[in-house]
Chain A
Amino acid sequence: MIGQASLSLDQAPPISVPFRFFLTAPLFIFCAGLLLLIYGQDALVSRWSPVTLALTHLITLGFLASVMCGAVMQILPVLAGSAVPASLWVSRAVHLLLTAGVILLVSAFLFSLSPWMGLAMLSLGSAFSIFVVAVAIALWRVKITNETVIGISVAIAALSITVVLGLILAGSFIWPIGYGYIHTLTDSHMGWGVLGWIGLLVMGVAYQVVPMFQMTPEYPVWMVKYLTRSLFAACLLWGLLTITHSFSLISPLWADCWLLLMALGYLSFAVMTLSVQKRRRRRLPDVTLKFWRIGMFSQIAAFVLWLWGPFWAEVIGEQARLLLLGGCLIIGFALSVINGMLYKILPFLSWFHLQHRSIALLGFGCVKIPNMKEFLPDRLAKQQYIFHLLVLTLFVMAVLLPEFFSRPLGLAVCLSSLLLEYNLIQAVVRYQKINSEISTKSNAKDEMSIAEMSRMRGMNGTSA
């Protein structure tokens, strides 16, 4: 027999693994919108304001980390053929600890509660430790290493560094350390989080999912082969230069020059993504593609805001420039790309699980599995995309004129997240409907088999 071993339905993570992360993630964005509605312009005064820190972590940990944790646990078996061990228990523990940790952290920021910060550290530290160990085991077991596996591996390493830096910073909330160190640590924490964890993961996954779902040509081989790992190595060196500078051993120019090289690497990825998307083979309207485009243009905008920093600081003020820079990276790039990917990942996983279960229980073709667009119609995704555009526009206006646009931005964020949640629930409901149909048909098939066996036994008895 020359057939290979494959991932059985029992080994593949249950659909509840990603669903639990995907369905809670938009609720954190909704909370971020509520904060903007309550605090208004106070939420956008400076990157150091407690409300801004709470807002940032609702997006980065509550939404981005949640979706990424759920997606990585499901994507590994699909793209690399290796499942996370005890995926159901790991996902339950990570989801519970991450959700509790985000709530505790945000409360600690808003109400200056030191004991809550301690609990948040414990909760988030445990959540990410479990996640990193479980994913590392799955990565270790991968038989054929491809660039996506490398992308996920370096992103997980970057996540670990981000979490350690975050825990040190959270610790400084309880045991204060000097402002100079806080500043360096915060920049490193944000750098590792955005450029390392989010940037490298998006890059690694993009090499597979952009051509796979958006019908584009493949990324060039040099980029796929070298960019992700080079950028990770560059991140390590940048970290080292930053630490050396914080002890006043070298000029800050070294770290800045090195960051420029890294920024050019990320810029080349953004430009290449826009280029392959322009050359896509099927020119059908696709909402995910639009979300990705916004993400890539935001990355370019962030580069412009960073490179010509003094110019922009003079035009709009330094605090506004820093808020815009962070917004371009976290909201414009990361949130847009992840939001767009949800519209592909969730229907694809629904299709895969239903098709798999239907084949295992009934055989191919016994139940009609809806196509991806039937799980999540374009019409619904487009409506949310318009609200997302509104969020981005209002964000820029709110940074420039916080007293007028902070609360309208909060309202737009609430509406966009509610619409996303509604769309995801629609897909899950559709999944459950077809899943019940498979169960009903499978039960009927079993009953028929039992009845047939009983009839045969009866016939045997008569003839004897």
Chain B
Amino acid sequence: MEFRLDVCGLPAPEPMELILGAVQGLKEGDYLKAIHNREPFPLYSMLNDDGFFYHTIVGGKAGFLIFIWRSDDAKAELAVEARIEQESQ
């Protein structure tokens, strides 16, 4: 299941706090699609350390789409791959 979180225009570090909080609730097959107006480089390492994978698409109205899922969740990874393909078409 896709969860959507728009953090555009929030002052730092609120976007990172919200995203880190939101991914904690992801269950098997779930992933988060975060919409951001700048690339959150510091977030990536924190996600990896917390047991999550991510994939960022540059573009779209806001600027960046960040897909996040649990690193041990193959079902969510497949869903994200399909979603990314859809986004890039």
Contacts and interface: CB of A to CB of B under 8 A. Distances in A.
Nearest to B69: A3
A77 interface: yes
A246 to B, nearest CB: 44
A81 B55 CA distance: 15
Contacts, number: 82
Given A3-B54, A77-B42, A79-B41, A351 B48 contact: no
Q: How large is the interface on B (under 10, 10 to 19, 20 to 34, 35 or more residues)?
A: 20 to 34
B56 A4 contact: yes
Contacts of B50: 359, 363-364
Nearest to B67: A2
Interface residues of A, number: 35
A213 B12 contact: yes
A215 B9 contact: yes
Contact of A214 (B11, B41, B55, B58): B11
Interface string A335-374: 0000000000000100110011001100111000000100
Interface string A269-296: 0000000000001100000000000000
A359 B9 contact: no
Given A2-B84, A365-B24, A77 B48 contact: no
26 contacts: A1-B77, A2-B53, A2-B80, A3-B71, A4-B44, A4-B56, A6-B41, A6-B47, A6-B48, A8-B48, A12-B45, A77-B42, A78-B42, A79-B41, A80-B41, A81-B44, A144-B39, A213-B11, A218-B37, A348-B12, A355-B13, A356-B42, A363-B50, A364-B24, A365-B21, A365-B24
Interface of B: 9, 11-13, 16, 20-21, 24, 37-39, 41-42, 44-50, 53-56, 58, 71, 77, 80-81, 84
Given A3-B71, A355-B16, 9 more contacts: A2-B77, A3-B48, A6-B41, A6-B45, A7-B44, A79-B41, A213-B11, A356-B46, A356-B49
